[in-house]
């Protein structure tokens, strides 16, 4: 088996850093960076605005049938507005998509790819997880009765291996819990002994030192008598025999502390999970697209599908939007009193409009993240049957490569593993490869931590997406530099005549469904205020 060549570190700009932080570290990483640059962050709302009064049929045209557009149409429709959504695809949801049997995605060059997974198998190639504090999303989960289930974000049973680590631990496979237990144990030992030797006497009184020592003994599984870490059965067992006379409690041997530090493997973990990536997250039963489908069901005939917007014009009387029916090629025109556009800015900036120069500059400024995913279907859930891994992930420390196990279909026969989640130049390189080469790369890499299993049980069905090459998206989520965000987002949050902008790109949580929904909530309030004024 060919050995994967090591990836060379590359320098990144501040913009690329924010993009990577959003992708890999989640919202908390971005919040930390933005706070450091003086950019604030708003907490999530729990319910849509309470709009006083009802419309008498005011027409609102909504461009784009993603979660922002459908949220706006649903809420305004509840208050008497006549809404119409123009959606370029044959289905709604924006990036809230799941690939399952028969799903087809189209790239900018016109080529398409159709998913061939077995019935019941799917892969969330867009949005794929929900932390508990995304109240706006859960508002509609409850309202529409969408069944939900646990999504296992982190699982200590998963593996970690890094061929490029320093020292004797390089290239060796470990359970995540082994590394976590040993790093915390040795660190707790050092601090406990320093405390016992009086190194912290000028900072802590006697009672404080006792409390700290007691905590460290428990946290690090230390020997109470000499405050040493000698390993713990909680890092894993060398053997497991339920009927053994002494019980199945023979602990596996702890790694050497110096070797752990040399390898850097311990730096892959944190003692407390970030707020947006807790161990336990949530997902709709049957795929993330069930949220989009629930909106569709509750919008009746509001959405016009296969409607590709050609222009956006407005005058004193309303808005005029020519569009093309992609199934017939016929040109049509939609008119309304107001327009809410949720079209990705990468697409919006190409449309002829009569928006102000200030607004056009705001539309043209940000980048869209370059991102791609890959998933493979397997004829046996070997990660469960052989490795006791149910959800979570394993890592090889290779940029763009992931081993994310499904959090559904436990104990079934088949399953789908997400095998790549790539960003930036890594995503560009991945997206340029034919699907069979993407699959081969994933198999070659993952065989290192699942030797003899990944290739053997891959059943020939895979699906990938490159969002930066996908028609009507041309990228993942919008990325702003802090100065650009400060200058341009306020422009897009305010009415531009009769045109309003909604989408996660005007929120503080770009790339998350909650940002899309809350952005719609803020804009419908403004539309309603203007409509009530006549």
Measured CA to CA in angstroms, residue 238 lies from 136, 232, 442, 498 at distances of 46, 11, 30, 68
pLDDT tens column, 51-85: 998 888 899 999 999 999 999 999 999 999 999 99
CA dihedral 123, 126, 128, 132 (to 10 degrees): -160
> Is 37 a residue whose pLDDT tops 50?
no
Tell me what the pLDDT averaged over the chain comes to.
Answer: 91
pLDDT tens column, 287-298: 999 999 999 999
Q: Where are the alpha helices (DSSP H) in 66-111?
A: 67-77
> Is 492 a residue whose pLDDT tops 50?
yes
Rg (C-alpha) for the chain, rounded Å, is 26
pLDDT of residue 275: 84
Helices (H) and strands (E) in the chain, counts: 16, 22
Evaluate whether 454 touches 446 at the Cβ level (below 8 Å).
Answer: yes
pLDDT tens column, 419-432: 999 999 999 999 99
pLDDT tens column, 200-228: 999 999 999 999 999 999 999 999 999 99
pLDDT of residue 184: 96
Cα(230)–Cα(237) distance, integer angstroms? 14
Asked whether the CA dihedral 6, 448, 452, 123 is positive or negative, the reply is negative
Which domains can be identified in the chain, with CATH numbers?
A: 51-90+293-366+480-532 (3.50.50.60), 104-127+369-469 (3.90.660.10), 176-268 (1.20.1440.240)
| Residue 524 DSSP SS3 | helix
pLDDT of residue 273: 84
Cα(370)–Cα(388) distance, integer angstroms? 34
CB-count exposure of residue 110 (10 Å: 0-12, 13-18, 19+): exposed
**Percent residues over pLDDT 90 in the chain:** 84
In sequence order, what DSSP letters do the residues of 31-57 get, joined into one string? Answer: HHHHHHTT---PPPPSS-----S--SS
Apex CA 249: angle with CA 247 and CA 254, to 5°? 165
Confidence of residue 11 (pLDDT cuts 50, 70, 90): very low
Tokens of 30: 């971005």
What's the whole-number mean pLDDT along residues 275-287?
93
Give helix 67-77 / helix 289-299 axis angle, nearest 10°: 30
Cα(313)–Cα(297) distance, integer angstroms? 30
Tell me, rounded to whole angstroms, the distance of Cα 24 from its chain centroid.
8
pTM: 0.88
More confident residue, 300 or 120: 120
Measured CA to CA in angstroms, residue 121 lies from 100, 233, 406, 421 at distances of 6, 36, 10, 19
């Amino acid at each position: 088996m060919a050995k994967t060549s090591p990836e060379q570190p590359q320098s990144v700009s501040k913009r690329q850093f924010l993009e990577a932080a959003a992708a890999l570290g989640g919202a908390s990483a971005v919040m930390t960076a933005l706070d450091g640059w003086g950019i604030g962050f708003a907490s999530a709302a729990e319910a849509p605005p309470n709009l006083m009064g009802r419309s008498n049929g005011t027409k609102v045209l909504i461009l784009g049938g993603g979660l922002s557009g459908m949220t706006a149409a649903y809420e305004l429709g509840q208050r008497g507005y006549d809404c119409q959504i123009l959606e370029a695809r044959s289905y709604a949801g924006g990036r809230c998509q799941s690939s399952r049997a028969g799903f087809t995605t189209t790239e900018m060059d016109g080529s398409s790819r159709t998913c061939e997974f077995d019935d019941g198998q799917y892969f969330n190639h867009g949005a794929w997880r929900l932390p508990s504090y995304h109240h706006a999303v859960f508002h509609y989960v409850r309202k529409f009765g969408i069944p939900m289930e646990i999504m296992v974000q982190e699982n200590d049973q998963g593996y970690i291996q890094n061929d490029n680590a320093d020292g004797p631990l390089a290239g060796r496979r470990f359970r995540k819990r082994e590394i976590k237990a040993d790093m915390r144990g040795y660190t707790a030992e050092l601090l406990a002994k320093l405390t016992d030797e009086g190194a912290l006497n000028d900072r802590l009184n006697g009672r404080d030192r006792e409390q700290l020592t007691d905590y460290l003994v428990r946290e690090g599984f230390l020997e109470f008598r000499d405050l040493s870490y000698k390993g713990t059965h909680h890092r894993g067992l060398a053997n497991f025999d339920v009927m053994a006379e002494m019980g199945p409690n023979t602990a596996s041997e702890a790694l050497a502390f110096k070797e752990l530090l040399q390898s850097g493997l311990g730096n892959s973990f944190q003692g407390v999970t970030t707020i947006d990536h807790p161990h336990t997250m949530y997902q709709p039963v049957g795929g993330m697209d069930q949220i989009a489908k629930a909106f569709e069901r509750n919008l009746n005939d509001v959405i016009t599908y296969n409607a590709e917007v050609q222009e956006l014009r407005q005058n004193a009387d309303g808005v005029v939007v020519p569009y093309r029916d992609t199934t017939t090629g016929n040109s049509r025109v939609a008119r309304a009193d107001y327009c809410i556009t949720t079209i990705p800015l990468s697409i919006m900036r190409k449309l002829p409009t009569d928006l102000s120069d200030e607004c056009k500059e705001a539309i043209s400024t940000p980048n869209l993240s370059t991102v791609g995913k890959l998933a493979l279907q397997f004829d046996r859930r070997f990660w469960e049957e052989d490795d006791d891994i149910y959800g979570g992930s394993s890592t090889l420390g290779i940029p763009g490569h992931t081993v994310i196990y499904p959090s559904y279909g436990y104990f079934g026969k088949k399953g789908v593993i997400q095998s790549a989640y790539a960003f930036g130049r890594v995503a560009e390189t991945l997206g340029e490869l034919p699907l069979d080469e993407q699959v081969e790369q994933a198999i070659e890499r993952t065989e290192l931590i699942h030797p003899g299993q990944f290739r053997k049980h891959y059943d020939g069905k895979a699906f990938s997406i490159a969002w930066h090459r996908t028609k009507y998206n041309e990228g993942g989520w919008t990325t702003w530099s802090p100065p650009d965000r400060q200058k341009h987002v306020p422009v897009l949050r305010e009415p531009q005549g009769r045109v309003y902008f909604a989408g996660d790109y005007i929120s503080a949580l770009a790339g998350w469904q909650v940002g899309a929904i809350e952005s719609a909530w803020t804009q419908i309030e403004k539309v309603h205020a203007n409509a009530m004024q006549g």
